[in-house]
Amino acid sequence: MSYALELKDLHKTFGKTPIIRGANLAVKAGERVAVIGPNGAGKSTLFNLISGRLQPTSGDVLLNGERINGLAPYEINRKGLSRSFQITNIFPKLSVFENLRCGVLWSLGYRYTFLRFLSRLDDANERAELLMRQVGLERKRDVLAVNLTYAEQRALEIGITIGGGADVILLDEPTAGMSKTETAHFIDLIREVTVGKTLLTVEHDMGVVFGLADKIAVVVYGEVIAYDTPEAVRANARVQEAYLGSPVADAQGGGH
């Protein structure tokens, strides 16, 4: 069995404090995974370990069967894993189109010599145009990123994140700070632009979680205590216990 992403007995200790305490996960290619869990459970730390921003204390991270822990974030990105870094991905003084083209070119630049790179400029322009339509920003083509609304900046960021062609995408709380309406729209966008890709997204809104995810990974105290379909996770006694009095119990109705 081959998986797009695997975590094997992953541990991470900060100072003397164990934060990730033996996390295991095996995500099949093309699955959409919502990562849920209480604040401080270690969700962002897991993403940092997967994307190479942090090195595990022990254990392994496998991308398409290949061990990637120990590699630099850009090397992991080249291997097909892309992670959104909130606003820091965006160049505020570049237009929407230029931002998207930069993202595409940046990824091409590593794969091609300069001359071939130049011959690829047309491809990059086309790809940036396509991304711009996909994330619904074609009418903002020449607007500087700094002048976009918050939701538009998030959409631009998704465009940049998928622009390099990665097939495994990590999004850490992509809808944070958005209104209900913006969130619903944004989740549709995420669903569309990640078709055929493997997606892991940290999300708190249970309505969104149950609407978007094929699988839910429940992270509690540095471990993945459940990884299953939304229905199975909802019925899982261990999850119920960990979440007693919190959203999973009444997740069906969505949101809080």
Q: Pattern of binders to ligand ADP over 73-112, x per CB under 6 A?
A: ----------------------------------------
Q: Is 86 in the site for Mg ion (CB under 5 A)?
A: no
CB-nearer residue toward ligand ADP: 43 or 127: 43
Contacts of 139 by beta carbon, 8 Å cutoff, 6+ apart = none
Asked if 39 is part of the footprint of ligand ADP (rule: CB under 6 A), the reply reads yes
Per-residue DSSP letter, 178: -
Query: Closest distance between Mg ion and the C-beta of residue 172, in Å?
Result: 6
Closest approach, Cβ 223 to ligand ADP, in A, equals 12
For ligand ADP, give the closer residue by CB, 13 or 125.
13
Cα separation, 201 vs 211, in Å, equals 13
State the DSSP string of 98-153.
HHHHHHHHHHHHTTS-HHHHHHTHHHHHHHHHHHHHHTT-GGGTTSBGGGS-HHHH
| Piece of the chain touching ligand ADP by CB under 6 A; list 1-9, 35-43, 186-194, 243-251 | 35-43
In the numeric block, which tokens belong to residue 179?
């209104």
The CA–CA distances, whole Å, from 84 to 44, 89, 158, 180 equal: 12, 7, 7, 21
* Cβ(168)–Cβ(77) below 8 Å: no
Distance of alpha carbon 188 from alpha carbon 169, whole angstroms = 16
Provide the token pair at 17.
């404090």
Task: Give yes or no for residue 44 binding ligand ADP (CB under 6 A).
Answer: yes
Binding mask 25-54 for Mg ion (x = CB under 5 A): ------------------xx----------
Q: Report the residue from 2, 9, 14, 138 that binds ligand ADP according to the rule CB under 6 A.
A: 14
Which part of the chain contacts ligand ADP (CB under 6 A), choosing from 37-45, 61-69, 73-81, 241-249?
Answer: 37-45
Identify which of residues 42 and 159 has a Cβ nearer to ligand ADP in the complex: 42
Phi, psi of 24 (to 5 degrees): -130, 140
Contact residues: Mg ion, CB under 5 A: 43-44
Residues found near ligand ADP in the complex (CB under 6 A): 14, 19, 37, 39-45
